[in-house]
A and B are shown apart, each in its own frame.
Chain A
Amino acid sequence: MKILVCIKQVPDMESKFKIDAGGTWYEKTDLAWRMNEYDEYAVEQAVQLKEQVKDADLTVLCIGGDQVKETIKKALAMGCDRGAHIADDDSSSKEPFEKAGIIAEYAKDKGFDLIFTGMQSQDKGSAQVGILAAEILGMMSVSTIVDFSYSDGVASLKRELEGGVKACVTASTPLVVTCQLGLNTPRYPTLPNIMKAKRKELLSLPVADLLKVDSRQETAKIYFPEKKGGGLVLEGEVAELADKLVKILKEKTGVLA
């Protein structure tokens, strides 16, 4: 069985962000980098599948500059067999369709039975790359999975819907799935695995070789949300206040469905 997991290196969300000089993305200095959280679930599930099937080869792919190799190594330490680094110093200016194109170009001749990706990235959050890659490859895709099991070429999945409802889906391989929070608890790499990871294959491929599609969208500008209006002070008896508050939460926010 051949499995692919696609990951992205993103800044840690606790970092303080600044807009870059071009005004179209964030400034890259003084940031701590890590694997995209949703991709961690993807890697964990891919490794669990490999452990179940036993006769499986698991490749981890990541697009970005040299610094993303650290993140690829973490995936290798979690249990992937080999790494594919798509070397691209300018990956943050590429849009989801380009990224999907690169992945599809890489995967098209390799016969992957399953491709795992995160549901979305923590920085861009477009939630498109996995699904677009599947479409380009002509593969079935199931997004936002919170449960995964596999047997004899058929995957049984649960997708997360609004209001805590889950949809049960079965799909045959070849298949692309995008992973959501709640799917699993990513393992902490053990030291022997961290050491083995240093010796696993990690090939760097120039992005120019794999970028065969044109971009279809462009980021015009990013900015911090403007600070709007003040607060609202509610007055009255406690029971009255509670009613007013619930009304506001229902109508003005998405807190109460």
Chain B
Amino acid sequence: MEFTRDIYWNVGHGAWTLIPMYLLAAGAFYVLVKAFVKRVAVYRLGLPLERTDQPGVRLRRMFARMLSQKKVIRVQWPGLLHGLFFWGFGLLFIGTVLIVIQADFTDLFFGVKFLKGSFYKIFSIVLDLAGFVCIVMLGGLLVRRYFFPPEGLETKKDDAIMHAILLVILVTGFVIEGARMAVTELGTPLAAWSPVGLVIANGMSGIGEQSLLGLHKGTWWLHLFLVMGFFVLIPFTKFRHILTTSANYFFEDLGPRGKLVNIDLEDEDAETFGAAVLKEMTWKDIFDADACTLCKRCQDRCPAYNTGKPLSPMKLVNQIGEAAFTSPDANLIELIGKDVLWSCTTCRACEEICPASIEHVSKIVELRRSMVLMEGDFPGEEVMSAMEAAEVNGNPLGIGYAERGEWAEKLGIKSLAEDSEVDALYFVGCYGSFDRRNIAVAESFVKLCQTAGVKLGILGKEEKCCGEPMRKMGNEYLYQSLAVENIERINSYGVKKIVTTCPHCYNTLAKDYRDLDLDVEVITYTVFLENLIKSGELKINAEDISCTYHDSCYLGRYNDIYDAPRSLIAAAGGTLVEMGKNREESFCCSAGGGRIMAEEKIGERINIERVKMAVETGADVLLSNCPFCLTMFEDGVKGAEVEEQLRPRDIAELLVDRIEYTNPGKREKK
């Protein structure tokens, strides 16, 4: 027998089928496009933002992300369900397109049929299984949402409509196939190539042929109406994510990760800074809400949300979109709430995990900019004082600027003003320069470099805060003042390489400072030390220690530096017990987003939560690579009353204890 089937069997291939079918399709398509055009007008309430450059790169990314579903299946439950559903539906869609191509074009006009033979067999079984997988996956998702919903999952009427229409479309698909097979394929070898349809056909074998024909034809038209209904529903329901989320992959930020947009402070005509209303946000900020499917993966990982602060990244993103469509003149700061906006630590856990490539952090900073720059508003008086201290003394701690380089004197490190012939400028940062606990880390790093024969110089009293906490709090003006001063000094000494022990300084000098004319290579100390060990210039003795390691947000999620610190711990002989939330899932210490300057007044203390996670590993030492993290963990260990169990240390301190000196008598045991 021929392995094929008569497309439009029983329904009829004449004008009475084709014309209504194509008219319906055209009508549905028209409604779809018109509704989207209306939505685009709302996106355009926002400011322009260039996200169509390098279209080739963008398109490749978009298709890769869409087809692989990589971001979705990253969280396997329920991501894999969606992934399989997507692929199944994709195959069904391709299958339908092939049928249309043959039935309404190649066969109709040229008598060419390709859905036959081996190709048809594969076509048949693939689509059969795809449909079945879709129903099972959709069923799983439905059961999860309506019977075992995870905490925080919002279910709306929207969801019920979506589940219902897709389920009925899929089921009617099989009813049509079953009815057809019951009449034309039962007992033939072709039936085995549609195993699911075969089960249904067998179930229908008791029904008379006339009834089967009627059932088949009726269900076929029902199925068509439902599919057209589905197209029409796309712009009006969460279905729109099929288009908007895919588009969001295209519109992703190709720039350095986490680099904020620079405000042009020279612009004499600028009347407002930051955003307080929609027309001051960008179109992307409104569009992101349309791409959101309320999966709440961001909320699940937000350190603020999970310790009782009112911030939910998901809610914030959607509030902006909602305002755009319902009350475009609303004051967004009042709508969202100041406490919500101040709670963010810019840890990027939300953006890292978001399967729709939504950008949460820049929205929050833009709104903060309006609060700070337009109102002089801060989360607390202590933050205003820290800002003023940074203006007066170049550091938020308020310590006299002239003392900044004093910690280095006894180590023989000179400032560039005294000697600018150095291998690298060590940009120490405020905590490494002034905070006793972190000076110990700076000293450790310097000793490691000196042992390896690297000549470092510092800016000393010419160094100012990199400006990052101020920038993340919204004080763009103070950030740029500090940055410009630092860059002028760095450039005046002809520095070729900068190394930092603070990830915030690292991220800012390596990315944000590029907008302000710093072109020097910037390297973080973990990578710097790893290179020295690999090249043999620095020798470390392995000495066992039970430890766990905290991936800082600004080295980890912002820069994907997860392995270098681990190789340092391995070189030091550490027995590393990983915390559950590690690498990209690391739980912020709470000091980012400028919050190192602020007091934590709402909910539970984030740093104590993280210390508890470290204690659970049973390790003796909690290693980190950031002065903010170290400060927060020293405090957290006291707060959680685990001072006897867990000791916070920086990786540099671990290594300096294990330096292999050529003269063994020199080694100090700590």
Contact = CB atoms under 8 A, between A and B. Distances in A.
Interface of A: 12, 14-16, 30-34, 185, 187-192, 194-195
7 contacts: A12-B398, A16-B403, A188-B376, A191-B273, A191-B476, A192-B271, A195-B268
B400 interface: yes
Contact of B374 (A14, A16, A185, A190): A190
B349 interface: no
User: Which of A14, A15, A34, A189 has its CB near the most chain B CB atoms (within 10 A)?
Assistant: A14
A188 B377 CA distance: 8
Contacts of A191: 265, 273, 373-374, 476-477
Contacts of B374: 190-192
Nearest to B274: A191
Contacts of B376: 187-190
B431 interface: no
Interface string B567-580: 00000000000000
B243 interface: no
A15 B400 contact: yes
Given A30-B402, A31-B402, A185-B381, A190 B373 contact: yes
B378 interface: yes
Contacts of A189: 376
B384 A32 contact: no
B273 A12 contact: no
B461 A30 contact: yes
Interface in B343-383: 372-376, 378, 381
Given A12-B392, A16-B400, A191-B373, 5 more contacts: A12-B400, A14-B393, A30-B402, A32-B401, A192-B271
Contacts of A33: 392
A48 to B, nearest CB: 14
A14 B376 CA distance: 24
Contact of B402 (A16, A185, A194): A16
A188 to B, nearest CB: 4
Given A190-B373, A194-B477, A32 B271 contact: no
A66 to B, nearest CB: 18
Contacts of B99: none
Contacts of B394: 32
Contacts of A34: 388, 392
B399 interface: yes
Contacts of A15: 400, 402
A188 B400 contact: no
Interface in B425-476: 461, 476
Contacts of B286: none
Interface string B271-282: 111000000000
B292 interface: no
B381 A32 contact: no
A12 B393 contact: yes
B384 A188 contact: yes
Contacts of A185: 381
B387 interface: yes
Contact of A190 (B375, B384, B388): B375
Given A32-B393, A34-B392, A188 B378 contact: yes
User: Which of B388, B400, B476 has its CB near the most chain A CB atoms (within 10 A)?
Assistant: B400
B319 to A, nearest CB: 25
Contacts of B381: 185
Nearest to A185: B381
Interface in B635-650: none
B371 to A, nearest CB: 10
Contacts of A187: 376
A23 B476 CA distance: 42
A106 B400 CA distance: 35
A180 to B, nearest CB: 18
B467 to A, nearest CB: 15
A30 B388 CA distance: 18
Interface in B512-552: none
Contacts of B273: 191-192
Contacts of B477: 191, 194
